């Protein structure tokens, strides 16, 4: 897996907006925990993917970080 690429997954704008909004009201640790729970409960990884990959990508997009 090449980690030097742009984001790997497309997230619904409402999802990104929600977690970006939450980041203003809770610390990063709490927000990341909530994002990981969201991925575990609401997302279905496709072949070759796993919850951790999805969670990392979501976190990076919410905090506008690059790989």
Domain contains 33: yes
Report the pLDDT averaged over residues 6-25.
Answer: 94
Query: Residue 4: helix, strand or coil by DSSP?
Result: coil
Note the pLDDT of residue 67.
Answer: 79
What pTM does this model have?
A: 0.87
Considering the domain boundaries, does residue 48 fall inside one? Answer: yes
- What domain range is 48 assigned to? 13-62
Domain presence at residue 18: yes
66 vs 22, higher pLDDT: 22
| Per-residue model confidence (pLDDT) at position 66 | 83
Residues of the chain with pLDDT > 90: what percent? Answer: 85
Give me the chain's average pLDDT, please: 92
Tell me how many domains the chain contains: 1
Residue by residue, DSSP assigns 6-52 as S-SS---HHHHHHHHHHTTTS-HHHHHHHHHHHHHHH----TT--HH
Task: Assess if residue 23 is contained within a domain.
Answer: yes
**Residue 2 and residue 19: Cα distance in Å, rounded?**
26
């Amino acid at each position: 897996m090449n980690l030097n690429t742009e984001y790997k997954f497309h997230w619904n704008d409402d999802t990104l907006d929600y977690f970006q909004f939450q980041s203003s009201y809770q610390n990063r640790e709490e927000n990341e925990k909530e994002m990981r729970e969201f991925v575990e409960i609401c997302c279905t990884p496709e072949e070759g993917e796993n919850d951790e990959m999805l969670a990392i990508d979501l976190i990076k997009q919410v905090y506008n970080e690059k790989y």
